[in-house]
Amino acid sequence: MTMTFIIAALLAAIAGILIVPFTSRMKDGGLNIKFKSLFFLGIFIVAFIVTVIILYITKMDLNWTAVWPAIVILAFLGAFLALGVERKLKGIIAIAGIGIAAYMLTAPLFNADEKYDSVKMKTEVELKAFDETKTPASVPPKYARNKMKKAFGQVPNTSYYELGNLQIQKINGEYVYVAPVEFSDLFKWFKGDTTPGYFVVSATDSSANPKFVKKDMKYVPSAYLNNNVERYMRLHNPLKIFNGDVQLEINEDDTPFYIRTYGEFISARNGFEPKGIVMINAQTGDLKSYKLKDVPTFIDGAVSPEAVSLQNSYFGNYVHGYWNTIFGKKDIKIPSDEGVEANVSPVFDEKGDMYYFTDFTSPKEGVDSMLGYSLTNAHTGEATYYTGNQEESYMDSEGALQVVEKKFVEKKWEGSMPLLYNFYGETSWLVPVLDSNGFLQNYYIVSAANPEIAVSASTPNEALRQYKNVLSRSGSSTVNGTSSKEEVQGEGKVVRVYKAEAGDFTNVTFLLDDNKNYTVSSEVAPLAVYLQEGDTIKFTYLNTTEVFLQVKELTITTLDQPVKEETKDEATEKETTKDTTTKSDDKE
């Protein structure tokens, strides 16, 4: 807090210098140094108190770009009170302030190119294929929040508290939602002093129950005075430019920390580029600052979703500068507003790194096709834009929600948190389905390129299994291999076979003598219905990490073997053997 008082004192001194007419003489011709010193001291004290109060209440930064309006006003007042050269000097300061005002107010018109360049998204075509042995983080936050509210009875002195904002993260390898317990009002804070802890619930298992973790937290968003975590951060960092709300992060020892993203303006007080975080121990108040490259590994969301949303806006809107957003709108891409956190949605990749997902659509009204999508690493801020297959038209997130709404219109269910994945080589939307009370009822997977290819199931893994079968029957060319699915030729002897009807076709699952499991639909290989134990086969399959490998082509070689015509000697030998067997049976 020392820096806060130093800056407040400096601003108060500037106010005193600008207002007090040091060179003006009194009626008797004297300078009256004593009076002017007392006048300066009075201005200093008042300005110091006002600055500290404004900072304390608003929690704003104290950069010069924040205080220039006050300096301009004080310069005009000082010029009015002063005479001679002093008046001219203060008048020049006031006029310069008008120039600064013009610069500040017009900055958004001229810094569009700088905003676009600050994003620096690399470009790729498609996402890597999803690892089908994993479960996507598919529990929507609305449902997780409902479950936490149902479990709020675990909190001691329940009437003192309420549930805070949810934050998804990875703790000890598990994807979970975390929500702090907050004070319900000023009087509860005054009596309680600290909050009792936070809730944790799985982000992948919709049947999991919330767990309350007891950790007394003193510095929280709902606390007052110096215990308010945002105010505590500001008082210790008066010059830092913050963006986005504070977020709760839990380390491997279940210790709670609050973090907030800081950065720089693009120009003037406009635009934002993230540079690091301020982190505070919610229990002790220990406070540290980190640059993005030095952020501790347990922090998943170092870059706030609000900052990512801004970056997406810069990337989509300012490709050809500011004026193109008004006239022409060439190559403009509008970021979706369907995200669950500041118009973006958090997802995790196969390595467990968290990303913020956003899809982009056309600025034309009534168009629900997707122009592309982006993933921004929430830990480092690095972003990638995916163009998608340019030969196909992808449905955007709003279109995916509309498909779900039409599917369950009679039940009045609706989709939540649509996320784009590469399932089996098909770019697809995974949409959790909630009822009118916010409870999870279903999972819906629909192809982004062909909405008629869709399935629904009670769990995401079951939906994936059904989706694989539908894709196999559809004959969609996009299933025939991706960068992570190599087509491999195989052959061997069948050890076990299992057949199951699936609509108008049959799914045939078999175990080969190489101890690997394979599955094929009779729509892809009609003769697969004749497959039996002991058959030898040749086939083409997708080499993935799945337990059951998808077969694309199948030839039963034993069916192709011709029946050999018997010779006369072979027929006589066969008849003799038969007669001998018959006589033996008669004697018995």
Q: Name the pLDDT band for 164 (thresholds 50, 70, 90).
A: very high
Q: Are strands 174-183 and 167-171 parallel, antiparallel or unpaired?
A: antiparallel
CATH number at residue 470: 3.10.450
- Distance, CA of 328 to CA of 398 (rounded, Å): 25
The enclosing H or E element of 195 equals: strand 195-202
β-partners of residue 501 are 506
Burial of 475 (0-12, 13-18, 19+ CB in 10 A): exposed
> Does residue 531 sit within a domain?
yes
67 closest CA partner among 44, 50, 80, 79: 50
In three-state form (DSSP H/G/I as H, E/B as E, the rest C), the secondary structure along 261-302 is EEEECCECCECCEEEEEEEEECCCCCEEEEEHHHCCCCCCCC
Extract the tokens encoding 588: 């018995």
Residue 549 inside a domain? The answer is yes
CA pair distance 179, 192, nearest whole angstrom: 19
Q: Which of 435, 461, 479 is the last residue of a domain?
A: 479
Q: Are 30 and 103 found together in one domain?
A: yes
Q: Please indicate, yes or no, if residue 80 is contained in any of the structural domains.
A: yes
Give the pair of three-digit tokens for residue 229.
């975590």
pLDDT tens digits along 419-428: 999 988 889 9
Token pair listed for 499: 């057949």
Whether the per-residue pLDDT at 533 is higher than 80: the answer is: yes
Give pLDDT, residue 576: 52
pLDDT category, 475, cuts 50, 70, 90?
low
Give the domain CATH number at 504.
Answer: 2.40.50.140
Q: Are 159 and 185 in contact (CB under 8 A)?
A: no
335 within domain boundaries: no
Is the per-residue pLDDT at 364 higher than 80?
yes
User: Can you spell out the DSSP letters for 35-66?
Assistant: HHHHHHHHHHHHHHHHHHHHHHHH-----HHH
User: Are residue 499 and residue 472 in the same domain, yes or no?
Assistant: no
pLDDT digits (tens, 9 = 90+) for 126-160: 888 887 778 888 899 999 999 999 999 999 999 99
Q: Are residues 506 and 556 in the same domain?
A: yes
The domain in which residue 444 lies consists of 390-479
**Could you read off the pLDDT of 264-309 as tens digits, one per residue?**
999 999 999 999 999 999 999 999 999 999 999 999 999 999 999 9
Residue 222 lies in a domain: no
- Grouping H, G, I as helix, E, B as strand and the rest as coil, residue 557 is helix
Query: What is the value of pTM for the model shown?
Result: 0.81
HSE-up of residue 79 (Cα within 13 Å, Cβ side): 15
- Classify residue 270: in a domain, yes or no: no
**String of DSSP letters for 145-156:** HHHHHHTGGGST
Residues 6+ apart with CB under 8 A from 1: 235, 236
CB 402 within 8 A of CB 434: no
Tokens 């030729």 belong to residue: 489
Let me know whether 96 and 12 are in one domain. yes
The three-state secondary structure class of 258 is strand
405, 463: one domain: yes
Question: Buried b / exposed e across 38-54, counting CB within 10 Å, b at 16+?
Answer: ebbeebbeebbeebbeb
Name the one residue in this structure whose structure tokens are 């089996």: 424
The first and second tokens of residue 96, run together, are 């310069």
**Mean pLDDT for the chain?**
88
The reply to whether 397 falls in a domain is yes
Q: 254 in a domain, yes or no?
A: no
Q: What share of the chain is helix, strand, coil (3-state, %, to 5)?
A: 35, 30, 35
| Same-domain check for residues 493 and 406 | no
DSSP state of 257: E
* 397, containing H or E segment: helix 397-407
Structural domains counted in the chain: 3
**Tens of pLDDT along 51-103?**
999 999 999 999 988 988 898 899 999 999 888 898 999 999 999 989 998 99
* Domain final position from 76, 110, 144: 110
- φ and ψ at 475, to 5 degrees? 70, 20
Per-residue pLDDT at 137: 82
Final residue in a domain of this structure, among 75, 110, 145: 110
